[in-house]
Structure 1
């Protein structure tokens, strides 16, 4: 992992994802998310090389590629964990976590993502504004949609961590099935961020992109979601069950896998698209012999 300066005391670790951090006096730092379980040793080694001790994690949301190392960091360094209130509830117990990951069995969830279960020491309230954590005044923009209580964070240096709200750069170009828990809410959050982060020094997206102006990135993300929704409507010229639609999407996108976790993620992503298309009046639901079938209008 390479440690790169964004501006002032705001840096980021370049790994499979970008993990921003804010440097404090005395060789301490606050991480904005904690990365992948497979990279926890690399994360620790990179911090050690830089002479940094992670005294806090100011997390954006509870997902396996953002929060799975929180408990491990607490055990290893005594790191304090701060999460948005809604995300802290999700991370509080296995059963609460399963509320969001309903497509996995409880045992399967704990096997693949159990590290996400970690009670927060502090929480971020529901209002936008300044949230002080370990003496640092972070500016919080609530940006739900990707998850129920996802946030974007602006450091005192004016660097905005957009986390998973948007894709940018190569990740946007290669995206085949982007995920948002509730698409309409995520889209509104993107537009909100576009207006709120325009004056920031730069924006850091978790999936390996740093950019200055959020306006074209928001436009590109909205266009991507529109295009993906249109592709699903093309597959719904005849009524399909959700399972049939998932199979058609997976085949079309070449997302064939033997991983139960990936298959569950794909099914969840398709379901969230279907819910958005239904709520925006672009498909109908036909119930036949106890089965829901979806068809474009």
Structure 2
């Protein structure tokens, strides 16, 4: 891991999986914008120790496991403030909530075993109509970019650097992405288009990169997600069971499912694309003989 200065007091930690921005305040205190996954904790700790950093605050873009993996740990160690969008903060308050939010097909005991590090208290809720959040006395502008998750946010530091979070993915990530995730694809595409209107000094994407201009990347993202939706549409014939569509997507996209949790993720991804195709009136969803089926619109 290494630290890159972006502008002013805005910096970025380059990890293999993601870019984690932070804003430096007085006395080596920092505000993290997301925290990465749990298995990056030791490296992050070593980096903070080397630079004499203390985490004073954490601003979460959304509660996916690769973004909140170290929130509970840092909160307990540093007694830092945590802020998160109100529409999703409930997911981190209990194991039952987390199970519901992620639609996990496993008993609560397994959820506790695998995701015990993701439950924590939130100090500040970011409301849907809220455009600024003050954390540790520092104001961050909030750009509401729902779609990737129900209440996803992007945030602008006082240096006019935008942390996009997962509202966009890089060209490199697109090359390896078989079915990029969006909770609500229609809303996600609208949020991507919203980013055209912003004028910031720099843009940081969680997965993964730092940019001075993102207009072409927005184009590529929209085209890529729509292309993936079209491919899934092509798997649907006159009437197809949900299970059959799932099998076709896994086979033709060469997706390897190695755990219950991976199965749940792929299921959530696919349902989002099917919902989008229904909303775009490309396919219909019907109930026949007690089974959910999809068919192409004529």
Please classify the TM superposition score into its range, dividing by the shorter chain length: over 0.9
Distance 1:90 1:29 in 2: 25
Which position in structure 1 is the counterpart of 2:53? 52
- Secondary structure at the counterpart of residue 271 of structure 2: helix
Which position in structure 1 is the counterpart of 2:153? 151
Summarize the alignment of residues 257-272 of structure 1 with structure 2, pairs less than 5 Å apart.
Answer: 257-272=257-272
Which position in structure 2 is the counterpart of 1:12? 12
Distance 2:127 2:263 in 1: 34
Contact 1:160–1:203 (Cα < 8 Å) also in 2: yes
Which position in structure 1 is the counterpart of 2:129? 127
- Indicate the larger mover: 215-224 or 151-160: 215-224
1:193 to 172, 192, 195: 195
Contact 2:81–2:135 (Cα < 8 Å) also in 1: no
* Alpha-carbon distance, 1:248 to partner: 0.8
Which position in structure 2 is the counterpart of 1:82? 83
Contact 1:242–1:271 (Cα < 8 Å) also in 2: no
Give the unaligned 5+ runs of structure 1: none
Distance 1:240 1:119 in 2: 44
* Alpha-carbon distance, 1:228 to partner: 0.5
* Alpha-carbon distance, 1:40 to partner: 0.9
Which position in structure 2 is the counterpart of 1:116? 118
- Secondary structure at the counterpart of residue 178 of structure 1: coil
Which position in structure 2 is the counterpart of 1:171? 173
TM-score, L = length of structure 2: 0.95
Distance 1:123 1:294 in 2: 39
- Secondary structure at the counterpart of residue 27 of structure 2: coil
Which position in structure 2 is the counterpart of 1:40? 41
- Secondary structure at the counterpart of residue 75 of structure 2: helix
* Alpha-carbon distance, 1:137 to partner: 0.8
Does 2:275 correspond to 1:275?
yes
* Alpha-carbon distance, 1:48 to partner: 1.2
Encode CA deviations 1:111-138: one digit per residue, 9 max, x unaligned: 3333222120111122242211111110
Distance 1:25 1:261 in 2: 41
- Secondary structure at the counterpart of residue 258 of structure 2: coil
Encode CA deviations 1:213-234: one digit per residue, 9 max, x unaligned: 2221211111111101110111
* Alpha-carbon distance, 1:277 to partner: 0.6
Give the unaligned 5+ runs of structure 2: none
TM-score, L = length of structure 1: 0.95
* Alpha-carbon distance, 1:252 to partner: 0.8
Number of aligned residue pairs: 295
* Alpha-carbon distance, 1:172 to partner: 2.1
Contact 1:68–1:114 (Cα < 8 Å) also in 2: no
Distance 1:63 1:78 in 2: 22
Which position in structure 2 is the counterpart of 1:284? 284
- Indicate the larger mover: 152-161 or 86-95: 86-95
Encode CA deviations 1:62-120: one digit per residue, 9 max, x unaligned: 01000121111111221221111112122122222223211432333333333222120
Which position in structure 1 is the counterpart of 2:239? 239
Contact 1:58–1:82 (Cα < 8 Å) also in 2: yes
